[in-house]
Amino acid sequence: MTLDNAPSLVAHALHRGFVSGHVRQEVIRGISLEIFPGELTMIAGPSGSGKTTLLALLSGLLSPERGSVISLGQEIETLPERERERYRLRHTGFVFQGFNLFSSLTSFEQVVLPLQYGARPGTDLKQAALYALEEVGLTEKLHLRPLELSGGEKQRVAVARAIAKAPELLFADEPTSALDSHNAERIVVLFKRLAHRHQSTIVCVTHDEHLLRHADRVLHLRDGLILDDKRRSA
């Protein structure tokens, strides 16, 4: 952890709600926080606490109704839509519950394909993809397709795809929910290693309390508010 660094994400007084029929529910209620590079920050809480909504706000996938998010020094809500998309392609990676892999592509092809759109200029796409697969321990399985991989291996391909462009920000929404405990722990340990090694900012939503011990920082949400904010010793 490098808390002497400037925060990579700054949220100020975030509010977000949703309307269902004639009922409006306030999901995020005035959350402010700073998140730093070189850390794995995990967001926990019961169902309906606002975990996924907060992650979507921090990542720019969802706009706050009130408040602001400063991401790498930029308030991305102020950018035109095309520039916002370009910003996300260049600076952020995403890992979701579903693996979202193409059934006809090999592990290597799954990783190299999106690099054609989001990699920095001058990047050797093949080497970037191979390095990402090496990082997640899948070098020997880069020619295999999803049907030939286990659930844990599929999720590691998804992680490799997200990290291949070396994003400063990585957001993961319940990435271990479909995995057994061994593979779930392996993914979270991998996130922590990547955050420390590359000084990346990794924010991960989880419902699994057993995984929180691997986090550098844990935010517990309840009813759209941060109930507890704890840093854990290495």
Alpha carbons within 13 angstroms on the beta-carbon side of residue 148 total 11
The confidence score (pLDDT) of residue 4 equals 55
Summarised one tens digit per residue, pLDDT across range 202-234 is 999 999 999 999 999 999 999 999 999 999 765
Q: How far apart are CA 205 and CA 53, in angstroms?
A: 10
Task: List domains and CATH numbers for the chain.
Answer: 36-61+80-231 (3.40.50.300)
In the prediction, which pLDDT does 234 show? 53
Helix 125-135 and helix 151-163: axis angle, to 10°? 140
**In angstroms, rounded to a whole number, what is the distance separating the alpha carbons of residues 43 and 132?**
25
How far, in whole angstroms, is CA 47 from its chain's centroid? Answer: 19
103: closest CA among 163, 153, 148, 152?
148
> What is the pLDDT, as a whole number, of residue 1?
46
Confidence at residue 20, expressed as pLDDT on a 0 to 100 scale: 82
At 232 the pLDDT is: 77
Q: What does the DSSP assignment read for 73-122?
A: TEEGGGS-HHHHHHHHHHHEEEE-SS----TTS-HHHHHHHHHHHHSPTT
Burial of residue 198 (number of CB atoms within 10 Å: 0-12, 13-18, 19+): middle
Which residues does the chain have with pLDDT short of 70?
A: 1-4, 233-234
- Contact assessment for residue 162 and residue 85, using Cβ atoms and an 8 Å cutoff: no
- How far apart CA 187 and CA 223 sit, in angstroms, is 28
For the stretch 9-34, pLDDT in tens is 999 999 999 988 888 899 999 999 99
CA distances from 55 to 16, 104, 111, 140, 183 (A): 12, 31, 23, 33, 23
Q: Is 209 exposed, middle or buried (0-12, 13-18, 19+ CB in 10 A)?
A: exposed
pLDDT of residue 148: 97
Cα 229 versus chain centre, distance: 19
Read off the tokens for 7.
């925060």
By residue count, the chain amounts to 234
